[in-house]
Amino acid sequence: MTYHAHTLTPLGEMILASNGHALTGAWFTGQAHFPQQEDLGHRIEVSDCDVLTDAQAQLLEYFDGQRAVFELPIAPEGTDFQLAVWASLREIPYGYTTTYGAISKIVGPGAPAQAVGQAVGRNKVSIFIPCHRVVAADGKLTGYAGGLERKEFLLALEEPSAEVEGRLF
């Protein structure tokens, strides 16, 4: 059984989904690749599911700058290739970015960066699986299912301070 609940964030409303044991989805309302209503399961209140309660609390801590790592079970459904890409996304540390090409080298020899990009774009657990940390080879921001403005916000939120990075400015 799948459940979903709505929660507000500084970037707008998000839908959080759970199977009761793990977080299975986190989408911005109306984003690209938003699931069909029947795939979201029953609508409940966040407080009706421990997983959703924990996810909401950790998400708000993240937006408040109090959390860099999420500590809850995450179990999105996808193809083996998508799951491999999403697993590699979870290895990108807070405050860092990588490229589609770098991920393609991790997930398998000959995996085209374009296929990686498609899997990244279909990430079902936005923010918790940090697809926003993937940029083009030239460092430019490219597609984000939740919108480039949100991607910019998330990367700015995670940018280390000059003191942490050992920079003067």
In the chain, what are the domains?
Answer: 3-63 (3.30.160), 80-161 (1.10.10.10)
Q: Percent of the chain, pLDDT > 70? A: 95
List the beta bridge partners of residue 125.
Answer: 26
Known catalytic residues are: 131
User: Span 31-54, mean pLDDT?
Assistant: 93
- In this structure, the dihedral spanned by the alpha carbons of residues 77, 80, 81 and 87, taken in order and rounded to 10 degrees, is 70
* pLDDT score for 108: 80
Confidence of residue 166 (pLDDT cuts 50, 70, 90): low
Which region holds residue 115: left if phi is over 0, alpha if psi is between -120 and 50, else beta?
Answer: alpha
- Say what the pTM is: 0.91
DSSP 8-class letter at 98 = E
Lowest mean pLDDT among 59-68, 72-81, 143-152: 143-152
Average pLDDT, the chain: 91
Strands 12-18 and 3-9: antiparallel
Q: What is the pLDDT of residue 168?
A: 46
